[in-house]
Amino acid sequence: MSLFFGIVYLLNFITILTILFVERKKQSVAFTWILIMTFLPVVGFILYPFIGRNLRPNQKKLFKLKRKFDILYKERLQQKNLLSSEDTISYLRENSHCYEGIISMNYKAGNSVYSEDNTVDIFTNGVDKFHSLLNDIENAKETIHMLYYIVNNDDIGCKVVSALTKKAKEGVEVRLLYDHVGSILTPQKMFKELIKAGGNVCRFFPLSLGTYTRINYRNHRKIVVIDGKIGYIGGMNIGDEYLGLHKYFTPWRDTHLRITGTSVYAIQERFLMDWYYASNAKEDTDAAALNKFFPPFQSHGNIGMQVLSSGPDVSGEQIKRGYIKMITSAKERIFIQTPYFIPDESFLEALQIAALSGVDVRIMLPSIADHIIVHYATSSYLNDILPYGIKVYFYNGFLHSKMIVIDGEVVSIGTANMDIRSFSSNFEVNTFIYNTEFSNKCNAIYENDMASSKEITKESYASRGRKVKIKEGLCRLLSPLL
């Protein structure tokens, strides 16, 4: 037994050196792993290969598309020149001028093309979202591309798969990609008829003995692109709980978008990059495929938008940087909704500085916990924001919406939570929308949710019991790994 522990301590010591000098993890993450490996050596020895290792460099390269496939390459080149010249103001509409810095940063950091011809419909419940989605699936003519973190084998899941199967039988090209861990309880036989009808189904990062190190890196995106003209992005996966039918997590509040316009090209491009990696299929680069995936169309929308992706396959944390840039650009108010609030130091300090500068900062969280450790870790961070005058609200139900609105001018809605996992470990995608009318609509939604929420004051927070504080402290210690 002593020999075993000696080997474990030696391997842990080597791993610690690797963490510090080879992988160069963030200080908070490195510190947490060092503590675990020092005081819980067997636990650290078992866990680190599964959830601690970085994505290998050779895997990162596989997520890139060939330049000849990049339908937005010319547009990106044009915007690169415009955003670095004095002509930028002539390129942006009047209501976007004040946020040129956000647009420019999102482009330079994530190659996020800005377009102003989009229309956006917003859904705040699953009933409306799935009604619209099933209707768009029914009317699809050429292609249906779908990527979800979770596809549940329940009533709405079966309805969606049945609708896809019907379209596949009609000759529509159907591609469905889902995350293996997110949908770990979903049997593959659920897709048997869809595959038989000609549909293509694939799992992202499927788990096996040879791929166990990828368990920590999950595709948390929720993307649908229909005929290359209609896109969906937001917080809702495919499951009955998103319809408010879960026994415990009710009412369920979420936010999802239906988009038309040039930004759909960026959503399509994001899906295809994930699809070609996960399926190992050869890229479709012929003219017919390009015309089918990126069909020419004329949009009559007037909403400015960028679609920004982030994940462990790229350096930097693009969506987190976009959030921070929004926060530091705010002059009057910042409204945030997130199911999990585990910020890193840079995000937390940006909020504190905004509040100290006189900005009205409000954060809305769920009152119902779906992950108890994350819930206590989230609660611990309230001690870092309430003293700064930041207002915190607990929504009366489960809040799964990921939304940030600043000044009634700019809003970001997508799949990324305000936590370390979404910032660095998960594959995420968000929209950044520059439109006063749409942003004010989101403000109204937020204020309506406040009516169904309870404000947490410094006094009520301070009155929590000692056991709760101990749980918060322990869970916070693990927060960099959650």
Residues belonging to the active site: 220, 222, 227, 400, 402, 407
φ and ψ at 239, to 5 degrees? Answer: -175, 155
Residues 34 and 284 sit within 8 Å (Cβ to Cβ): no
Find how far residue 25's CA is from the centre of its chain. Answer: 21
φ and ψ at 179, to 5 degrees? Answer: -80, 135
Distance between CA atoms of residues 474 and 153, nearest Å: 35
The DSSP output letter for 334 is: E
The residue among 414, 392, 394 whose CA lies nearest residue 404 is 414
Angle at the Cα of 215 from the Cα atoms of 213 and 221, rounded to 5 degrees? 135
Distance between CA atoms of residues 395 and 402, nearest Å: 13
Residues 150 and 239 sit within 8 Å (Cβ to Cβ): yes
Angle between helix 27-39 and helix 466-478 axes, rounded to 10 deg = 110
Residues 270 and 293 sit within 8 Å (Cβ to Cβ): no
Burial (CB < 10 A; 0-12, 13-18, 19+), residue 21, is: exposed
The residue among 104, 121, 64 whose CA lies nearest residue 322 is 104
Give residue for tokens 């008829």: 193
Distance between CA atoms of residues 132 and 237, nearest Å: 14
Residues 381 and 352 sit within 8 Å (Cβ to Cβ): no
Side chain identity at residue 116, one-letter code: E
Element (DSSP H or E) covering residue 454? strand 453-456
Distance between CA atoms of residues 259 and 225, nearest Å: 9
Angle at the Cα of 103 from the Cα atoms of 144 and 294, rounded to 5 degrees? 25
Side chain identity at residue 16, one-letter code: I
The residue among 434, 466, 366, 379 whose CA lies nearest residue 116 is 434
Side chain identity at residue 77, one-letter code: L
Give residue for tokens 């819980």: 40
